[in-house]
Chains A and B, each alone.
Chain A
Amino acid sequence: MRNSMVRLEGATKVFSTPEGESLKALDGIDIDVGRNEFITLLGPSGCGKTTLLQAVSGFVELDSGRVIIDGQEMNDRPPYRRPVNTVFQNYALFPHMSVGENVGYSLEVARVSKAERTERVASALRMVGLEGMENRRPRQLSGGQQQRVALARALIARPKLLLLDEPLSALDKNLRETMQLELKTLQHELGISFVFVTHDQQEALTMSDRIAVLSNGRIQQVDTPRAIYDHPANTFVASFIGASNLFEGQANGDVVTTAEGTTIRHASEGAKNSRVTALIRPEHFFLDATEGCPAVDVVVEQIVFVGSSFELFGRTEQGRRLSAHVPAARRATIGALQQGQKSRWYYDPSAVHLIQGEVA
């Protein structure tokens, strides 16, 4: 594959826990990252994201499987001879060096001349908006600035592939959102591949060309943010990304019937007469009756106003908890609805996504 920047084939890593058990941190991972692609590894804490990243950078030696970077097998190469750079989770800036020395470290190691180094350090710092900060010490900087130094340090040697391990998780919300956009822009301008790790689904949806959802050392789904959101491959992906109303039951024609008797209409072709889980996103429910649209009857338990929308939480007669998001612009449809009252939540059958199998 000419357009592949990194490829993992059957990557497996087993750790032994202190209790003497073995733990599969990576369980047969196959993934292909394209040139110029922004791919995000998304999953809950402990699912193997860092391990996967370190298998690429070389700090984790695989038990089996191959790591191929830019067409070359890397399995036996030590980290310092791999053509990747990393932005570490806690930045890992050298505390005994100035900002300039930190940023210029890889050039110094590569014996680049002092004059060229000074110039490139200055331009790398300019790139991340820290012009003239060469002589500061890392500990004199704020979290966001340290983050930028780490970024400049990793990018100064112009790698074709940058690995970022939860780089924004330590920043506060506003700064995080600013940095998300900046990183995305930077990746686009530099034209290199980013493998970005996060456990924040919103961040993954915002930034990525593609998202790889991980759980228990396995890849659950790799696809574009939209495809992952609209067509999750399994119930783990459906419930990890975005809020979900899941109805597991028996498909029969264009109807899914749950064990307690709720019926959901759908418009998909495939699943006939099999066990499936129907997914309706909260924003696909609406409160005003529409010709030909089926509905679910609920008792409203809570109405929360979050600014851009109202979040309604309710329960079906059979006790299933559901949620619906009504855009603030359509608040009229909520009317005088109050906690404890009955309400009909309508949906379009074509907005129902069917997942094979049941909730894990």
Chain B
Amino acid sequence: MRIAAALFRGSLYAYTALFFAFIYIPLVLIVVYSFNANPINMMTWSGFTTEWYAQVLGFKTTISENALYIESTDQLVAAVLNSLKIATATTIIATVFGTAIALALHRFNFVGQGFYRVVMFMPMLMPDIVLGIALLIFFVNAGISLGITTIIIGQCTFLISYVFIVVSARLAGMDRTLENASADLGANEWTTFRRVVLPQLMPGILGGALLAFIISMDDLVITYFIAGIDVTTLPMFIFSMLRRGIKPEINAIAVMMLTFSFVIASIGLYLRSRQK
């Protein structure tokens, strides 16, 4: 009995260790590779360098091989700026609409409520390819020329769902009697919303917004369909680089994105712990 229990415990530890190794070793390797001086084979360590970062950031345009890997830093910067622009716009729009819909469905009882709830979930369940094609067909038929605007509209269709779900979960856990207490103390609906409902909802809204921002920054498939030919986002740019082989700069870009996501996630967690 003892031995069986010990064996079970041991394998559980091993499983846990493997699980985390599986997830995190590739990430660690990318960070290591991004500082590897070997330009041809990054599996072989040939010294520490920050050259790839310098190149990505455009500090070293003189290196001859540069043209081979990154055509120009300007392109990368433009892609990053596009992604940030799109993510900022979609986050604002998706947060406002997702929160508003969650509030409406929570607050009011009306016919077809369940139906609307399902409608809100649908975009998340739909395969990206289908959504991408559907949006493309829609934009073309509607005569809207593809570009940043269509990317923003297209991403909002599913980002609203994410915000909706996060905010709804928070709303479901909220105590309705607090609103009654506020009204009882003389506050009208608007004041109650502003002083009681919104502060309680804030962690949910912020969480939804951060999620929307990260998903928007990350989206490739749907964006690819509706981007047109003039606009390139960061994921599209990296994807196009990959087609010419994995180059050391990609590791540098990946590490920077990782850091960025990590910072955003930390901010989210921090805000959450403070609100609790």
| Interface residues, chain A, with chain B CB atoms under 8 Å away | 57-59, 78-81, 84-86, 88-90, 92-96, 105-106, 109-110, 153-154, 157
Contacts and interface: CB of A to CB of B under 8 A. Distances in A.
Given A80-B188, A109-B191, A94 B178 contact: yes
Given A89-B177, A92-B175, A105-B195, 14 more contacts: A58-B183, A59-B180, A59-B183, A80-B186, A81-B186, A86-B181, A88-B184, A93-B181, A94-B181, A94-B182, A96-B275, A105-B185, A154-B185, A157-B185
The 8 A-B residue pairs whose C-beta atoms are closest, nearest first, are A106-B185, A92-B181, A79-B183, A92-B177, A109-B187, A80-B183, A96-B199, A86-B184
What is the predominant secondary structure among interface residues of chain A facing chain B? loop
Contacts of B186: 80-81, 106, 109-110, 157
A88 B191 CA distance: 20
B139 to A, nearest CB: 43
Nearest to B187: A109
B82 interface: no
Contacts of A89: 177
Contact of A105 (B177, B180, B182): B182
12 contacts: A79-B184, A84-B184, A86-B184, A90-B175, A93-B181, A94-B182, A105-B185, A105-B195, A106-B186, A109-B186, A109-B195, A110-B186
Which of B180, B181, B187, B196 neighbours the largest number of chain A CB atoms within 10 Å of its CB? B181
Nearest to B275: A96
B187 A88 contact: no
Given A96-B200, A105-B182, A90 B177 contact: yes
Contacts of B187: 80, 105-106, 109
Contacts of B184: 57, 79-80, 84-86, 88, 154
A193 to B, nearest CB: 16
A78 B196 CA distance: 18
Interface of B: 175, 177-178, 180-188, 191-192, 195-196, 199-200, 275
A228 B140 CA distance: 80
What is the predominant secondary structure among interface residues of chain B facing chain A? helix
A88 B188 contact: no
B20 to A, nearest CB: 34
Contacts of A95: 200
B275 to A, nearest CB: 8
B196 A94 contact: yes
A58 B186 CA distance: 12
A251 B182 CA distance: 56
A58 B184 CA distance: 9
B216 to A, nearest CB: 29
Contacts of A110: 186
B130 to A, nearest CB: 37
A79 B183 CA distance: 6
Contacts of A58: 183
A29 to B, nearest CB: 21
A154 B181 CA distance: 9
A92 B200 CA distance: 13
A78 B275 CA distance: 31
B177 A85 contact: no
A61 to B, nearest CB: 13
A314 to B, nearest CB: 47
A153 B185 contact: yes
A160 B252 CA distance: 70
Contacts of A79: 180, 183-184
Given A80-B188, A94-B196, A96-B199, A88 B183 contact: no
A99 B183 CA distance: 18
A25 B66 CA distance: 79
A280 to B, nearest CB: 43
Contacts of B183: 58-59, 78-80
A88 B185 contact: no
A80 to B, nearest CB: 5
Contacts of A154: 184-185
B35 to A, nearest CB: 45
A276 B57 CA distance: 98
Nearest to B181: A92
Contacts of A85: 184-185
A251 to B, nearest CB: 49
Contacts of A88: 177, 180-181, 184
A137 to B, nearest CB: 11
A106 B185 CA distance: 5
Contacts of B178: 92, 94
